[in-house]
Amino acid sequence: MTADLAIVAPAAAPVPPAPSLAVRAQSLGLVFDADGQRTVALDNVTLDIARGSFVSLIGPSGCGKTTLLRAIADLERPTSGTLVVNGTTPERARRDRAYGYVFQAPALYPWRTVERNVMLPLEIMAMKPAERRARAARYLDLVGLGEFRRRFPWQLSGGMQQRVSIARALSFEPSLLLMDEPFGALDEITRDGLNLHLHELWRRTGMTVVFVTHSIPEAVYLSTGIVVMSPRPGKVTEVIAVDLPAARDLDVRETPAFLAVAHRVRTALRAGHSYD
Amino acid sequence: MRHHVLPVVVVLAAVVVLWYAAAVWLNYDTAQNLADDGASRWDIVAATMQQDRPLLPAPHQIAGELIDSTLFRPLASPKSLLYHAGVTAAAAALGFGFALVLGVLLAVGIVHVRTLDRSLMLWIIASQTVPVLAIAPMVVVVLGNIGLTGTLPKALIAGYLSFFPITTGMVTGLRAPDPMQRDLMRTYCANGVQVFTRLRWPASMAFLFPSLKVAATLSLVGAIVAELPTGAQAGLGARLLTGSYYGQTLQIWAALFAAAILALLAVAVIDLAQRALVRRRGGRL
């Protein structure tokens, strides 16, 4: 196991956040209480995510991986334990606009052009118009959609729309990128292309990425570390480091080293899942 | 639009034919009574379409009355239908403006303030169950007593009748953004005004325009109804009233058609505004 990702044993006293950590969760619990129905979405989750790493959360439906991501984003409130994001509380991190969030669907506003969708967070953050346009152009070029900036979202394919939403999340240059199954609704060929793209993007920017996925190959291909989770109650069963070269192309998926990691992830998933 | 012309013409022709048949049928008895003894059946049928005060005027009579009372009367004269239509249209337009402001403000309050959501909607629905025919005379008379006459009382009735579809449409529209679109705003730490101007308001436009079309026709109905109870001197409602006093069926029907044409014009204007917005949004609302 590498040093950039490790399970930290629950400490007796809250440990001051280490500056090298993007996210630190300690004994995190989150219980939904709706109409007398108690659902334990997260149970005693302890996890460190180092700055600059690419960490995937993988597990079957209901294992709390999306809930964990949403808690990091301050879209859900943990009911117990501590959660530190960028050295501060999730709410403070959100107010500091420390993270960009990419949802399962592109969530573009259909009445805005592609360019104006990317400029939306910049408008809200009161950036000057000239700077907004420059940023939008830069990040649309980065995801390869520069020439589509005057189009409307519904004029683009699903994969292109999701790339726009990635450009939108990158436009204000957050240090942390949270992605909730961003490619889940796309076909495999589009998905491969976007994985390649995202991997290069991460290598170039050096940002921290937390990535929720269902797909083992996707997780292994993209990640420096994989967090395997199991459902009812949602908890972390294993953290697997990915010892693959940082520069990867899609062919790495055929190598023995890749298959060995994939096998470990599959075994961990099976151990945590009782098929009930 | 062009390929829809033929069906429209066919339906119109069918209506006109049926109308003539109905006019002959309804006016036959009076025509027979007025006819000379020697009049043939065909003379009587022809007479059913030429009466001064027919039970049901034939289409060409209504068209003639419409043309005569719009094109061949001075605009300021009380005999000009354009003058009366203008009076009613002014009241309806002002009332529509009231309804737009009130309807949108109520919707914004209902969507943003939980207590208003619980308390206000009930009263708004209750307000719409009160027959406007019962309220209109009271409003007009009370306002008349404090010196408010003319357009304003009529506009208030028109607005009272037409704010409801705007409120309900806008409440739905302002709540239309899905959880993901709202969460997105939360991740940006957007404030309430930003969420409103950049998400809720633009999302509500698809619901606003259909409501506006309903509201425009309702405000015309409101303005006309408000002209009835006090025996107003001017307006399409006044034309309907005097027409029925003196049995001037031609005048009544011409006023009815004028009201229908006004409503079509109002809806067309709103449609133009909608098209302009759709064009700015690249072809979709």
Contact B188 A151 (CB under 8 A): no
More confident residue, B70 or B171: B171
Provide the pLDDT confidence category of residue B180 given band limits of 50, 70 and 90: very high
Residues in B closer than 8 angstroms to A109, CB to CB, are 181, 198-199, 202-203
ipTM of this complex prediction, to 2 decimal places = 0.86
Query: For residue B163, is pLDDT > 60?
Result: yes
Backbone φ and ψ for B16, nearest 5 degrees, come out as -60, -45
Residue A194 has, within 13 A of its CA and on its CB side, a CA count of 25
Distance from C-alpha of A224 to C-alpha of A267, rounded to nearest angstrom = 18
Kindly list the structural domains of chain B, giving each domain's residue range(s) and its CATH number in brackets, ordered by start.
Answer: 2-56 (no CATH), 81-280 (1.10.3720.10)
Backbone φ and ψ for B84, nearest 5 degrees, come out as -65, -40
pLDDT of residue A7: 44
- Spans of chain A below 70 pLDDT: 1-19, 273-276
Distance from C-alpha of B88 to C-alpha of B226, rounded to nearest angstrom = 10
pLDDT tens per residue across span B1-57: 567 889 899 999 999 999 999 999 999 988 888 888 778 888 888 888 888 889 899
Provide the pLDDT confidence category of residue B106 given band limits of 50, 70 and 90: very high
Q: Considering only alpha carbons, which residue of chain B is nearest residue A152? A: B282
pLDDT tens per residue across span B274-284: 999 999 998 88
Q: Where in chain A is the domain with CATH 3.40.50.300?
A: 41-98+176-276
Distance to chain B for A112, nearest Cα, Å: 7
pLDDT of residue B145: 86
Query: Which pair of structure tokens corresponds to residue B251?
Result: 């005048």
Distance from C-alpha of B162 to C-alpha of B169, rounded to nearest angstrom = 12
Q: Concatenated DSSP letters for chain B?
A: -GGGHHHHHHHHHHHHHHHHHHHHHHHHHHHHHHS-TT--HHHHHHHTTS-SS-SS--HHHHHHHHHHHHHSS-TTSTT-HHHHHHHHHHHHHHHHHHHHHHHHHHHHHHHH-HHHHHHHHHHHHHHHHS-HHHHHHHHHHHHHHTT--THHHHHHHHHHHHHHHHHHHHHHHHT-S-HHHHHHHHHTT--HHHHIIIIIHHHHHHHHHHHHHHHHHHHHHHHHHHHTTTT-SSSHHHHHHHHHHTT-HHHHHHHHHHHHHHHHHHHHHHHHHHHHHHHHTTS--
The answer to whether residues A80 and A46 touch, using CB atoms and an 8 Å cutoff, is: no
pLDDT tens per residue across span B187-239: 999 999 999 999 999 999 999 999 999 999 999 999 999 888 766 688 899 89
**What pairs with residue A48 in β-bridges?**
A24
Does the CA dihedral A152-A153-A154-A155 come out positive or negative?
positive
Q: Concatenated DSSP letters for A201-213?
A: HHHHH--EEEEEE
> What is the topology classification, in CATH, of domain A41-98+176-276?
Rossmann fold (3.40.50)
Q: Considering only alpha carbons, which residue of chain B is nearest residue A180? A: B180
**What pairs with residue A28 in β-bridges?**
A45
The reported pTM is 0.85
Contact B188 A154 (CB under 8 A): no
Contact A94 B184 (CB under 8 A): no
Distance from C-alpha of B142 to C-alpha of B163, rounded to nearest angstrom = 21
Contact A103 B203 (CB under 8 A): no
pLDDT of residue A274: 57
Q: What percent of chain B has pLDDT over 90?
A: 56
B153 preceded by cis ω (within 30°)? no
